[in-house]
Chain A
Amino acid sequence: MVSVYVKALFLTLLFFAANFFLIKYLDDTRADSVSSQLATIDEEMQSSRILLFYIQTANATRDACPALEAKTMEQLNNIYGLARQLEEVRHTSILSSTEQIKRKYILTNSELWLYVTQLQKYCSDAPAGITPILYFYPDKRDCVECRAQAEVLDKVRDQCVNVRIFAFPTDLEIGVLPTLMKKYGIEKTPSLVINEKKIEGIVTEEIIRSLVPCTRKT
């Protein structure tokens, strides 16, 4: 006769194992969804890469600029919702790590930002002028002010179709990030870079709106 203590332990372990399997499945499904969306964007960006290369080599701004602009805008729209999804997956997952997806996301996002810069450099007559706002925040620790700043930025992004937010974590040393931080002298979080100028601390909606032109949704 097995004692009730052993039986209970067995049952509890069984419950926990079943739970872990269920959670692993849920976590993986969610992470996979973000991962595959990111992969699609990456694939699409190959054509942007070729277009940009063509502009630079053939100096054919008139022919290729509209195409590059359209492509870049499309990818910017696609990646916009992904940031939030990724954060959600990261907060709700217990058993799967999102580190890898996060790194890939940041690389893709920086690349898109570079396209925007290139568009402004080579295709200055582009009809829909995009205003990028760079937003620096810590990834590994919680920062209440950053969460508040993110809310504000989301609001501005929703109201103004020309504004694009590029969020960069200050504590992940990947790609162009360290150089970028050095260039703008980022020391504190949150920090914003608007029109090549650094602003430290939380910035309210009114101040942002006074610094960037806003094309309202029609």
Chain B
Amino acid sequence: MDVRESFWFSALVVLAGGTILFYLLASFVPFIAIYLVTNFVFIYVAMVYLLTYWEEKEEETTERKPAISVIVSAYNCAKTIGKCLENVLAMDYPKPLQVIVVEDASTDDTLARIKAFKKKAAARGKDFRLVINGKNQGKGRSINQALRFARGELVACIDADTYPERDALLKMVRHFTDGKVGAVIALVCVHKPSTMIQKIQEIEYYTAFGFWHTALGRLDSLLVTPGPMSIYSKRALADVGGFDADNITEDMEIALHLQDKGYRIKCTTDARIYTEVPATIGSLYKQRLRWLRGKIFNGGKYSHMLFNAKYGDFGRFVYPVSFLVEFLGVVFVARLIALNGANVANGVLGLLNVAAVDSSLLYNPGVFASMVVDSSIIFFALTMVVWGYIVWQSFKIANQPVRLSQLPFITVFMTVYSLFISLVYFSSMVHEAIGTKRTWGTR
């Protein structure tokens, strides 16, 4: 195994990079400056999207119901594939669906499950095709393979751990109003959240796919056609040459490619699909590292769209700003850590008896003494009000009541979780910079 793929190596590099960044920031930039700049940018960006969201706009829809092919790429998903395919076949649609499942050389009994399901489907008279990969090909390549068999005018790509609602297709297809619409995306929800990490993600998904995507959709600036389920026009897919076979975030790459070719991506939040999400912080970290590394990598691939007025709001604002916000998040968290780093380091040294100081004597004012108690709490409060409004609106978009039991998770999501995500951003930047191999990790 390449040493650069080992956990300890990456931990060491991230730590070293972090120390240098923290040191530079702590030496040259006052905390309050970063705090105010980050605050300003965040509020401004939020305002742009809020104003867009507040604009009453009647969405154009169509009653046309073209033929649809459903593609499911299955890899090591024996636990979920059965339920997924049940849900796929149960979807309402006036025309018979063509279902194509690609089995990507799983090491568990995914193949057996699909074969069993195929028999059932055949008995019910469904158009069900199974494509078996002898060797693991990856998701992008698998879908491209399935595309060759697709007869529908539209292609719905669904993850094997995703369960669409019965009316998802009907609701999404209404938005394919003309040939310029390349894809339609839906509201991705978390399936049966049970762990704390999943409950936080439940809220995150409402905000990301509810509020942000509604606003981004209105600006014709969606950055991703979510892998769990998106419907594409087959003509548009053919036009961009299908999915990028080796991309670790192929669902983002295809969205950028569609934007590049001038196709529109529309968002509907009334169609709901449920997907399995990481249950532990470790698997969440791996997943996000993949997403964010993919974002940086694809940012390089599509850098010609950045600050390019030819691409409208997307090129002028949304795409560059998405990177700016991430970068500022990292700088903010780094400076926050640097602010308290000296105290923590001294405390640790004291505990280890390295310093001549009794650790119990070391008074550590911590984050709160330096940030929240002072006047800047007013800026913090403003951010939280705007952020809270966005979360509340997202629940409304998702047609979900805010339950009292969710308040702790909402609080964690609005505060600590953002810090965690910023740390993953940082980690992904370091990984991209030193060029460790990009892998799927968990699928």
Question: Within 8 Å of chain A (Cβ to Cβ): is B324?
Answer: no
Question: Within 8 Å of chain B (Cβ to Cβ): is A93?
Answer: yes
Mark the stretch among B47-55, B86-94, B269-277 that contacts chain A.
B47-55
Q: Is the CB of B47 within 8 A of A91?
A: no
Those of B151-174 within 8 Å (CB) of chain A: none
Binary contact readout B329-358 vs A (1 if CB under 8 angstroms, 0 otherwise)? 000000000000011001000000000111
Q: Is the CB of A91 within 8 A of B370?
A: yes
Question: Within 8 Å of chain A (Cβ to Cβ): is B32?
Answer: yes
A19: nearest chain-B partner, CB-CB: B378
Residues of B near A93 (CB, < 8 A) are 374-375
Q: Is the CB of A15 within 8 A of B382?
A: yes
CA of A16 to CA of B35, assembled, Å: 13
Question: Looking at A5, A26, A152, which has the most chain B CB atoms within 10 Å of its CB?
Answer: A5
Residues of A near B346 (CB, < 8 A) are 144
Binary contact readout A1-23 vs B (1 if CB under 8 angstroms, 0 otherwise)? 00011011101100110010011
Q: Is the CB of A19 within 8 A of B382?
A: yes
Q: Is the CB of B361 within 8 A of A202?
A: yes
Give how many A residues have a beta carbon under 8 Å from the other chain's beta carbons: 31
Question: Within 8 Å of chain A (Cβ to Cβ): is B23?
Answer: no
Residues of B near A144 (CB, < 8 A) are 342-343, 346, 357, 362
Q: Is the CB of A94 within 8 A of B361?
A: no
Residues of A near B284 (CB, < 8 A) are none
CA of A202 to CA of B358, assembled, Å: 10
CA of A40 to CA of B342, assembled, Å: 38
Q: Is the CB of A4 within 8 A of B362?
A: no
Q: Is the CB of B361 within 8 A of A148?
A: yes
Question: Within 8 Å of chain B (Cβ to Cβ): is A158?
Answer: no
Those of B4-58 within 8 Å (CB) of chain A: 32, 40, 43-44, 47-48, 50-52, 55
Residues of B near A94 (CB, < 8 A) are 32, 374-376
Given the interface pairs A16-B40, A144-B342, the reply to whether A8 lies near B47 with Cβ below 8 Å is: yes
Those of A10-54 within 8 Å (CB) of chain B: 11-12, 15-16, 19, 22-23, 26-27
Residues of B near A202 (CB, < 8 A) are 356-357, 361
Pick from A8, A23, A151: contact of B375, CB below 8 A.
A23
B42: nearest chain-A partner, CB-CB: A12
Closest 5 CB pairs of A and B: A92-B374, A8-B47, A148-B361, A8-B48, A23-B375
A-B contact list, 5 entries, CB within 8 Å: A8-B47, A8-B50, A19-B379, A94-B32, A151-B363
Chain B interfacial positions (CB closer than 8 Å to A): 32, 40, 43-44, 47-48, 50-52, 55, 317, 342-343, 346, 356-358, 361-363, 365, 369-370, 373-376, 378-379, 382
